[in-house]
Structure 1
């Protein structure tokens, strides 16, 4: 069974231009990577979990904000590795400098035996 993720694509209109909110993953593996690293806030969900509920949960965990607009379902996307992404567009404005992401722990540097904590998302921006 393919892995599945769910996420929200926030959008707004600013000076007559449509903009979307994307987030950049945190942690040392992404620290010097920018191009191709940005995505919508999303995460995997379990069998039986409602994908929209998972998308809202992931958005709040990764940004610290609640999604408030009416969700518009988007066509699911299959990534080259087989993972299926379920997404909803939501009209909402927020200040990306105010995000507060959840964190994760990992051994860093590798093979050091030292555990460090990093934000799952280290920044967000409107594109």
Structure 2
């Protein structure tokens, strides 16, 4: 079973927190919005801890390395069966500085041509209510857990 790890970055502006979500890059997601945004995350192996992978993946997908402290938000299982572990961290990433790693696929399909695309094409700060309408359905649990964590502070 595949596992991923990621970080839900948040910042407190006024009374309501904002969260950072990313939109997957590449031609398959260009016109997809609601339900396709995600926490910056990625797969990992037994060669690193889930938290180390979450930090690495966040930096690979955004160009920003969150400093922590990191607060565990548990895990969820996505529809395809992948388990995603998540940590919350406060930060203030400038989305204009987004710099994502890339991947290469045959594009257009069956053309024999290879094209590179950013793994993440957009990052946006949004209210938790807005994020709830954009994030992958199963990952919405991380928003609830973050809000409970912040309410208990």
Counterpart for residue 30 of structure 2: 31
State the 1:73 CA deviation.
0.4
Gaps in structure 2 of 5+ consecutive residues: 127-153
Residue in 1 that maps onto 2:110: 111
What is the alpha-carbon root mean square deviation over aligned residues?
0.9
Higher helix proportion:
2
- 1:96 equivalent in structure 2: 95
Partner SS state of residue 58, structure 1: helix
Corresponding residue number in structure 2 for 1:70: 69
- State the TM-score, normalized to the length of structure 1: 0.95
- Report the secondary structure of 1:56's partner residue: helix
Q: Deviations over 1:67-120 (max 9, x none)?
A: 112000012111122211010000111111211000010110000000011000
Partner of 1:18 in structure 2? 17
Work out whether residues 62 and 101 of structure 1, in 8 Å CA contact, stay in contact via their aligned partners in 2: yes
**What does 1:53-68 correspond to in 2, within 5 Å?**
53-68=52-67
Q: Which runs of 4+ in 1 moved over 4 A?
A: none
CA distance in 1, matches of 2:14, 2:94: 16
Checking the alignment, whether the CA contact within 8 Å between 1:6 and 1:86 is kept in structure 2 is yes
Report how far residue 48 of structure 1 moved: 4.0
Aligned partners of 1:48, 1:94: CA distance in 2, in Å? Answer: 28
Give the distance between the partners of 2:19 and 2:74, measured in 1 at CA: 17
